[in-house]
Structure 1
């Protein structure tokens, strides 16, 4: 079901299992709709079932796991309504964050954005795994929020965006992540040059526009239709 990964220094069993299992879900190695077993996870990670049970509960709160009593636990399928809500929230809030950043942004965070872009460029050139690029992508946007003192807002977005981010990974697997990298460079330039009038268009292209393509993933003929819960289907644009 899952291959173990090395513990980070100072991680306890719960932190370790949470990180590994969530990474496997977010990278689609554990696929939406796939059954998961506490026993198998505990054996694969060489830990007891107690922290696994606690982690399953936490992932359930994050809409990443569904638990059915007397039946079992499953990786949650992607819910189009949650995709739409996350995209709307992220676009609305990040637009204001970028406008604020254009007015004033700390030099240290600007240097972090530039370093992140260099790493993204290396990732694109090396054709790294999508999940590796996705982590740099996530860090890039986190730095934006940190730079204007809104890191807790970013954490709130992250909690609601688990389904949204899984589909972003799927889209980057299917369509490549070069477009996202190019748009990140534009975002950096806009902040450096304080081009506040450019903010709405670049963020619409970066956050909202891609969701129009995602409906392809849950059309009847799509090989990924089983990844989605269409019981309350809505349009995501």
Structure 2
């Protein structure tokens, strides 16, 4: 139970950090976190320790605990890895015809993105943005690779979400990029130019 509570506390806090509900530079209180999550002291403390080890929070002696700034070097490196891997993923997907179910799932994800774009719901938009990429990893049998990448992509995810939230990234352009990727894969092509559309 203790491990489950720690994992639960970690998952909730991680999501809050990625979605900037806990903003870079913001001070947090261990006691307040306990109250907000309704989880005891030890699991919260262990979750915070894990986040500190991942450089997502930091402690200033005699001052407190703060949410770390986004590490731009990590963002650049994570994006480089994602693009390199996803070029191969898309090539594999293009070489094997997608099932009707897979086609329907990908098209539905794009429709959901359009819906949440119109509603300016960036939380759900970001969720379906991730699902679009994840499904290609599942289709090509590389689910484990997706899970590995999610562990090293935390800073990149923070950057992507903040860009969407602040309007620095065009939601409609992202939807169009996804449509182009899907059309290219369905046509059985593996165009090298698609690297510009990946990781968005």
Task: Give the structure 1 partner of residue 64 of structure 2.
Answer: 72
Name the TM-score, length of structure 1 as normaliser.
0.75
Task: Give the structure 1 partner of residue 177 of structure 2.
Answer: 183
- Cα pair distance change 1:181/1:61, threshold 3 Å: farther
**Residues 6-58 of structure 1 deviation map (CA, whole Å, 9 limit, x = unaligned):** xxxxxx53343223212211111211122222111001122211111121122
- 1:47 paired to 2:42: no
Q: Aligned to 2:189, which of 181, 185, 195?
A: 195
Instruction: Give runs of aligned pairs for residues 113-192 of structure 1, distance below 5 A.
Output: 113-128=106-121, 130-173=122-165, 174-175=167-168, 176-192=170-186
Cα distance in 2, alignment partners of residues 100 and 50 from structure 1: 45
Cα distance in 2, alignment partners of residues 205 and 189 from structure 1: 12
- Cα pair distance change 1:73/1:86, threshold 3 Å: same
**Residues 127-176 of structure 1 deviation map (CA, whole Å, 9 limit, x = unaligned):** 22x12211110111111111111111111211111111111112112234
Q: Would the aligned equivalents of 1:62 and 1:162 in 2 still touch at CA under 8 Å?
A: no
Name the TM-score, length of structure 2 as normaliser.
0.87
Cα distance in 1, alignment partners of residues 158 and 140 from structure 2: 27
Q: Aligned to 1:36, which of 20, 28, 34?
A: 28
- 1:111 paired to 2:97: no
Q: CA deviation at 1:206?
A: 4.1
Q: Aligned to 2:84, which of 92, 108, 113?
A: 92
Q: Would the aligned equivalents of 1:180 and 1:206 in 2 still touch at CA under 8 Å?
A: no
Cα distance in 2, alignment partners of residues 69 and 160 from structure 1: 28
CA RMSD of aligned residues (A): 2.0
Cα distance in 2, alignment partners of residues 105 and 162 from structure 1: 32
**Residues 79-105 of structure 1 deviation map (CA, whole Å, 9 limit, x = unaligned):** 121011101000000011101110015
Q: Would the aligned equivalents of 2:113 and 2:175 in 1 still touch at CA under 8 Å?
A: yes
Q: Would the aligned equivalents of 1:36 and 1:75 in 2 still touch at CA under 8 Å?
A: yes
**Residues 151-209 of structure 1 deviation map (CA, whole Å, 9 limit, x = unaligned):** 11111211111111111112112234221111111111111111212xx32332444xx
Unaligned runs of 5+ in 1: 1-11, 211-237
Bigger CA drift: 61-70 or 91-100?
A: 61-70
